[in-house]
Amino acid sequence: MASDFRAAPEERLVNLVVALLATEQGLTKDAILSSVSGYREQHESGASKDALEKMFERDKENLRGLGVPIETIGDHADPDDLREARYRVPTAEYELPADITFSPAELAVLNLAGGVWSESSMSADARRALRKISALGIEVDAPIIGYAPRISLREASFAPLQSAIEQARVVEFDYLKGGEDAVRRRRVQPLALVEYEARWHLFGFDLDQDDDRTFLLSRIASDVVITRTGFDLALRDGAGERALAGLRAVADRQRALLEVAPGTEAALRLHRRAEPAEQGIRVPFVDVHVFADELASYGPEVRVVEPAQLRTEVVARLRQAAARHRDDVSAGSAA
């Protein structure tokens, strides 16, 4: 009897990374779809091979975007022939450089974290998948416990949106646009989830605006409702690339000139994506309100030189914080 279990998208990604780390020779797409939890259940329940292959391709794209180095190994006789390609995550890519050292206190924390991971990283489904892979005659490295995929926690809307993308279903949610005080209901054909500037964005077609739109997941202000209305699967093709290209184009047009105090948290975080300038650094940004939130959190460590709108937004946030602090002090004195 086929299982009707459907793994959450993030669980499927973890299972995929664990499987690809477990073998040096790699796994074929057929082996992955029939063995790895998250694909296997849908394969057994009758999902089409085409749908599962597209899901796998999107998962590969998502994992590579997160920094997981998935290698594609073609036929040695014809490397361009990918019909029997194998996929793997080379374990060497997860090894620390030899020049990195840790203090005794840091090692104690890492050992504690590793212990927690080793107790929970190998689910029963993952173990069954590895046994099935071994039964196919593919050598599996053991033990694989201890490899922690670098998949970060995300907003609650991520999982339902990923599910809606896979099903090609229209979604509805309340959204608070930057600079506005009231949320608005959105009806969207969700096409891709992309990470940019360490924030997750939904790229899709807004049915009410009749145009493509990009939504910041942190601004979704309600549960995501997956409707029964479907849309053409082909609309998803290349959507992630179009979304990232659009975000990069916006960032290229918008660059803030900042003066940053050296040796501070702001300097550490901002210099990673900055270019040197005569009067400080220039940092590209996509959303003026989101960037103003970040800059205001650094307090006196950052001074915005330009653009004027960004400076105004940062000053407004700092004044609001100061006013709240005065109110708290007054309330404490009155008590």
Domain ranges of the chain: 9-135, 158-247, 254-334
Distance CA 85, CA 79 (A): 9
What is residue 13's predicted lDDT score, i.e. its pLDDT?
Answer: 82
- Cα–Cα distances (Å) from 297 to 52, 200, 292, 314, 317, in that order, read 43, 20, 9, 9, 9
For 198, counting Cβ atoms within 10 Å of its Cβ (0-12 exposed, 13-18 middle, 19+ buried), the class is exposed
What is residue 89's predicted lDDT score, i.e. its pLDDT?
Answer: 85
What is residue 93's predicted lDDT score, i.e. its pLDDT?
Answer: 59
> Contact at 8 Å (CB) between 281 and 260?
yes
What is residue 128's predicted lDDT score, i.e. its pLDDT?
Answer: 55
What is residue 2's predicted lDDT score, i.e. its pLDDT?
Answer: 40
As a CATH number, domain 158-247 is 2.30.30
- pLDDT < 70: residue spans in the chain: 1-10, 75-83, 91-154, 327-335
What is residue 168's predicted lDDT score, i.e. its pLDDT?
Answer: 92
Question: How many helices (H) and strands (E) are present in the chain, helices listed first?
Answer: 11, 12
Secondary element (H or E) of residue 65: helix 49-65
Give 196-200 contacts, CB < 8 A, sequence gap 24+.
196/244, 196/247, 196/248, 196/286, 197/251, 197/273, 197/285, 197/286, 199/290, 200/154, 200/155, 200/158
Spell 31-61 as b/e; 16+ CB within 10 A means b.
Answer: bbbbbbbbbbbbbeeeeeeeebeebbebbbb
pTM > 0.85: no
What is residue 271's predicted lDDT score, i.e. its pLDDT?
Answer: 83
What is residue 107's predicted lDDT score, i.e. its pLDDT?
Answer: 57
Residues 6+ apart with CB under 8 A from 1: none
- Bin 168: left if φ > 0, else alpha if -120 < ψ < 50, else beta: left
What is residue 334's predicted lDDT score, i.e. its pLDDT?
Answer: 61
Distance CA 179, CA 12 (A): 36
